[in-house]
Structure 1
Amino acid sequence: MQNSLKFHPSRREACLGLGAALAAAACAAPESLLANGPEPAPKGWSMGDPLPFPVQEIYPCLHDGAIHLAGGFIAEAGRITGPTAAHHVWRPDGRCWQPAPALPAARHHPHLISFAGRLFVIGGFESPSAEAIWQAQSTGWILDEASGNWQAAPELPARSAEAVLLVGGTGLMHFMGGRSPAGESNASWQDQTDQTHHFVLDATDGRWREAAPCPTARNSASGAVIDGRLHIVGGRSVAGGNTAVHEVYDPAEDRWRDAAPMPQAQGGLAAAELGGKLYAFGGEFFNDGGGVYPEAWVYDPATDSWAAIAPMPHPRHGLGAVTLDGAIHVIGGALKVGGNETSEIVEIYRG
């Protein structure tokens, strides 16, 4: 694993605590991670191959038939140590998670996406020193898979992280919401502010342009594409806390509309599409001492309604969700609020 630095943050303004990481598992039997509890996995859930190390604040993606995970906050000996540049790939070939070309720099919250047949990494935060852990980035990279080298991606119009990145419309990548520096300072968590950014990258000319701004300024939301429309759900704002807001963007009209809100306000969650429906998992809250949501939900666009599904076997936040072969892989994250108990767990939901 590659790190830009190692540090032991005491708090992330109530959003990042000390980690108490689970021991890294190298392709242990998936069921072994459930051995500590007397109850079997809830209906529809099973264990996947664990990650090579505990990690949270990640945005994995599906690319060329494989799940790609790069960057994030990692933990060692029970404590968050900083961001990583490590890049791993999981394919359904029985070989577990395999190392892939590391990022040019360690980042947490980097957004991964498969776009125009190539793997992109966009934005996120770098941590060049213990005094500058939250340095938002506008740059990104594209993987040249033939050489294994990363090339520069088109630069975002603003330094941004904690956004939602989706592909929707013909040859368009959408970067929505998130947090950017409020002024010239760009080092600490307090320097960043919630945004309604909506930047669109066109594959034909490789340039970003602006589209209809997000109606709600928020970070740590998630989303997916259903029938060509982009759904953004949950998340939070610094001023207002967690939100249940659900908004849908139509690329053909460059227009947003409201949809049924989530049954519960959840920030730091993950979401994915499966079978034409939107699934949402986990998240965290900070009131009443803080905690992590076990609840998981499914949204049916045909009825504009949500329903509960079986809760996550291991509630987590700062996690990722990727659909592959008719199942949703729910990846990494932390078992407790903030950085506490950063995990290597992968769970699979099949409905």
Structure 2
Amino acid sequence: MHNRLKVLQSATLSVALGALAATAHAQSQGSWTMKAPIPIARNEVALAAVGAKVHVIGGSVQGLAGTYHDEYDPATDRWRTRAALPHGLDHIGTAVVNGKIYTVGGFVASVHKDGQPHVLEYDPAADSWRSLSPLKVGLGSIGVTVLDGKIHAVGGRNAAGQTVTTHQVYDPATNAWSERAPLPKARDHMALVAAEGKIHAVGGRFGASNDKTDMHDIYDPATNSWISGPPLPTARSGLAYTLYEGMVLVLGGELAPNTFAENEAYDPKTKNWRTLAPMPGGRHGTSAATTGGHVYIAAGSLKPGSGEVTDQLIVFTLP
């Protein structure tokens, strides 16, 4: 009887320890919460965080790109409308430099053609936009990030619907563009994130919407060259992306007939990928922004293409 009791106690302890380990592992992967929905459901939006607020810019409703611009305040869980984009655009690239939001390129329709050269600057203090020096050619679904105060615009799709390898750099101080080493292979709908002094181009597609890749190219500004990095664990395109806790976060995506809920993070210090808590449902045509220790994902489509457009605002946090 005594031995049976000891076995039972040991088994109970093992189960409890296993449950605790599982809980700790789940917590280490982070968690998602739902916040106040965006006023107008749409997809192919751009996000940017500045002044502890999250801006959702542009996007499409029923295939038509609009001038939408909504601002979310995490402190109050409320939205308000801000100055409209000067042009109706979706698939925009965004960046933040010195407290201002910059948008690069975009499409005017949902067929991935008619890429635009517009480069715009939004001043939150004045709630106003102004036009800047444009891209040499119109591009949409372009990757955009900031490194050393300059805006890098990489890849994308031109007005004829062809993907490009172009790598252009904008200097806000001079309002001028310059060229850098092109991507090793043309693609768009990818993630582009600056981390630890280098730029990471991850995933995306080479051509049609039923295409995807796990490519991970790393740009070194010191040598003006690209090298291959560890591939994205889950190949996909139509990604949301951001820098969070020093890691390159790559979220969501699409490949008909499905969308992806994956949330995978690359740590440039360890050179390893890490799987984090998946989004509450697959989605694409959205974007990500980080502020106050949280990652914000707004709007997008829960199904491929323009299927099941959503007004959801979901927030990811690591413990």
TM bucket normalised to smaller: 0.7 to 0.9
Unaligned runs of 5+ in 2: 1-28
Aligned AA for 2:118?
A: T
Aligned counterpart, 1:134:
113
Does 2:316 align with 1:334?
no
- For residues 145-185 of structure 1, the C-alpha deviation after alignment (integer angstroms, 9 at most, x for no partner) is 4543321111111111101111102x31100001013xxxx
Aligned counterpart, 1:276:
246
- For residues 214-259 of structure 1, the C-alpha deviation after alignment (integer angstroms, 9 at most, x for no partner) is 1121110012221121111111111681001111112233221211
| Cα 1:260–1:163 shift into 2, 3 Å | same
The structure with more radius of gyration: 2
Does 2:49 align with 1:62?
yes
Aligned AA for 2:94?
A: L
State the distance in 2 between where 1:297 and 1:160 align: 27
State the distance in 2 between where 1:116 and 1:124 align: 23
Does 2:122 align with 1:143?
yes
Q: CA deviation at 1:133?
A: 8.0
| Cα 1:117–1:73 shift into 2, 3 Å | same
Q: Greater shift after overlay, 102-111 or 259-268?
A: 102-111
Q: CA deviation at 1:89?
A: 0.9
Q: Greater shift after overlay, 87-96 or 193-202?
A: 87-96
Aligned counterpart, 1:300:
267
State the distance in 2 between where 1:345 and 1:197 align: 33
Runs (4+) of structure 1 moved beyond 4 Å? 144-147
Q: Which has the higher helix share?
A: 2
Aligned counterpart, 2:87:
105
The one of 306, 313, 317 aligned to 1:346: 313
The one of 186, 190, 204 aligned to 1:221: 190
RMSD: 2.0
Identity score, percent: 30
* TM-score normalised by structure 1 residue count: 0.78
Aligned counterpart, 2:212:
242
Aligned counterpart, 2:132:
153
State the distance in 1 between where 2:259 and 2:122 align: 34
State the distance in 2 between where 1:276 and 1:133 align: 32
Aligned AA for 1:342?
A: V
State the distance in 2 between where 1:311 and 1:148 align: 35
| Cα 1:151–1:265 shift into 2, 3 Å | same
The one of 254, 257, 264 aligned to 2:234: 264
Aligned counterpart, 2:59:
72
| Cα 1:155–1:82 shift into 2, 3 Å | same
Does 2:289 align with 1:322?
yes
